[in-house]
């Protein structure tokens, strides 16, 4: 199975490296110093599960790389304007594009380029970072992908999703095939959108926020808003989603920061449009009030392109 990794950074690079190590054919799509490092020295992964280096093809131009069997679409959502058109040369009649981007907008955006029948989606749970060109550091042991169909019949897990799941599991990726990927996508989004927005707006990790009862209640108000948007969208998330989020937030290290907070603190672009912005736009379209998420969106929007 030939994989192309569009967005070969912390997420895509890590999963691509695991697949290449296990024997899958992998083409990394990268740019700049990261591309040159992968070409010259391979892609190196270091972390608690062991260190290794893989040698694999690396390109900046997808027109010389495809078509392939599976595309993992892992770029930051703010790069979609330039990244989405790169998918077309990679897609043949049997190709599937699995988007692992944050938020719930990505599958529709990918499908607009390659078609609904070629699009899969799902959330990923991973702790990695690009430490230097050609070097990815895994900072935790999570490497989970929950994925499946997002369009068409979703009564059972499709054969193509099962096939990809088997290849991923053989590569030591904790892959979980599901019939309807919209549910795990939204269940992650219900937590991620408030978590990213709160920590970024406050410029603080979760601990100093979560220790105050009034802030906890405000955070959970935002969670309730996103859950209401999910249900109005016809997605049957679990009834105990809020309770699970409370339990999770109680258990994570107080120093936990969202990637939005990290990017904001470094003056980089942030995924404000695909996280709080998406909640606000969807809420307006569905007639669901989202006052807390709207306030967070307003605070963060001026930083969408980096430090103003």
pLDDT at 179: 96
Q: How far, in Å, CA of 28 to CA of 131, rounded?
A: 17
pLDDT band at 69 (very low <50, low <70, confident <90, very high): very high
Reported as a single tens digit per residue, the pLDDT across 126-160 is 989 999 999 999 988 999 999 999 998 888 999 99
Reported as a single tens digit per residue, the pLDDT across 22-57 is 999 999 999 999 999 999 999 999 999 999 999 999
Query: CATH for 2-180, among 3.40.50.1980, 3.40.50.720, 3.40.190.10, 2.60.120.650?
Result: 3.40.50.720
Residue 66 has pLDDT above 90, yes or no: no
Give mean pLDDT, residues 225-234: 97
* Three-point CA angle 150, 236, 163, nearest 5°: 35
- Which residue, 171, 121, 135, 187, is CA-closest to 21? 171
pLDDT at 153: 82
According to CATH, where is 3.40.50.720 located in the chain? 2-180
pLDDT band at 186 (very low <50, low <70, confident <90, very high): very high
Give strand ranges (E) for the chain: 2-6, 25-29, 43-46, 52-54, 57-59, 68-73, 91-99, 119-121, 124-132, 135-149, 174-180
DSSP 3-state assignment of 57? strand
pLDDT at 307: 78
Report the predicted TM-score, pTM, of the whole model to 2 decimal places: 0.94
pLDDT at 235: 95
What is the percent of the chain where pLDDT is above 90? 95
Give mean pLDDT, residues 77-84: 96
State the chain's mean pLDDT as an integer.
96
According to CATH, where is 1.10.1040.10 located in the chain? 184-303
Residue 247 has pLDDT above 90, yes or no: yes
Q: Is the Cα torsion angle 238, 239, 245, 250 positive or negative in sign?
A: negative
**φ and ψ of 126, to 5 deg:** -160, 150
Q: Which residues of 287-298 are buried (b: 16+ CB within 10 A; e: fewer)?
A: ebebebbbbbbe
Reported as a single tens digit per residue, the pLDDT across 101-126 is 999 999 999 999 999 999 999 999 99
Reported as a single tens digit per residue, the pLDDT across 269-304 is 999 999 999 999 999 999 999 999 999 999 999 999
E strand or H helix at 283 = helix 276-286
pLDDT at 155: 86
Q: How far, in Å, CA of 202 to CA of 218, rounded?
A: 13
CATH architecture for the domain at 184-303: Orthogonal Bundle (1.10)
Q: Which residues of 155-167 are buried (b: 16+ CB within 10 A; e: fewer)?
A: eebbebbeebbeb
Residue 308 has pLDDT above 90, yes or no: no
Tokens of 19: 């697949």
Q: How far, in Å, CA of 18 to CA of 8, rounded?
A: 12
């Amino acid at each position: 199975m030939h994989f192309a990794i569009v967005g070969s950074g912390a997420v895509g690079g890590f999963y691509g490296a695991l697949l290449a190590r296990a024997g899958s054919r992998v083409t990394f799509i990268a740019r700049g110093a990261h591309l040159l490092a992968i070409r010259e020295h391979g892609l190196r992964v270091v972390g608690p599960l062991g260190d290794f280096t893989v040698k694999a093809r690396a390109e900046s131009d997808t027109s010389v790389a495809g078509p392939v069997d599976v595309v993992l679409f892992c770029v930051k959502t703010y790069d979609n304007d330039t990244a989405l058109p790169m998918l077309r040369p990679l897609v043949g009649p049997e190709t599937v594009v699995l988007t692992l981007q944050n938020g719930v907008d990505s599958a529709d955006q990918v499908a607009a380029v390659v078609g609904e029948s070629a699009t899969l989606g799902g959330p990923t749970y991973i702790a990695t970072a690009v430490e230097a060109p050609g070097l990815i550091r895994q900072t935790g042991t999570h490497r989970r992908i929950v994925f499946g169909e997002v369009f068409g019949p979703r009564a059972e897990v499709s054969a193509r999703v099962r096939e990809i799941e088997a290849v991923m599991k053989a590569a030591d990726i904790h892959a979980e095939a599901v019939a309807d990927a919209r549910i795990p996508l939204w269940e992650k989004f219900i937590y991620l959108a408030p978590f990213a927005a709160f920590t970024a707006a406050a410029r603080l990790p979760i601990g100093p926020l979560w220790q105050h009862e009034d802030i906890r209640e405000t955070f959970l108000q935002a969670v309730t808003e996103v859950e209401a948007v999910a249900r109005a969208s016809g997605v049957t998330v679990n009834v105990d989603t809020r309770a699970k989020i409370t339990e999770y937030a109680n258990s994570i290290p107080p120093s936990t920061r969202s990637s939005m907070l990290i990017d904001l603190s470094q003056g980089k672009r942030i995924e404000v449009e695909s996280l709080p912005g998406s909640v606000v736009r969807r809420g307006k379209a569905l007639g669901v009030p989202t006052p807390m998420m709207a306030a967070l969106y307003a605070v963060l929007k001026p930083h969408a392109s980096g430090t103003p």
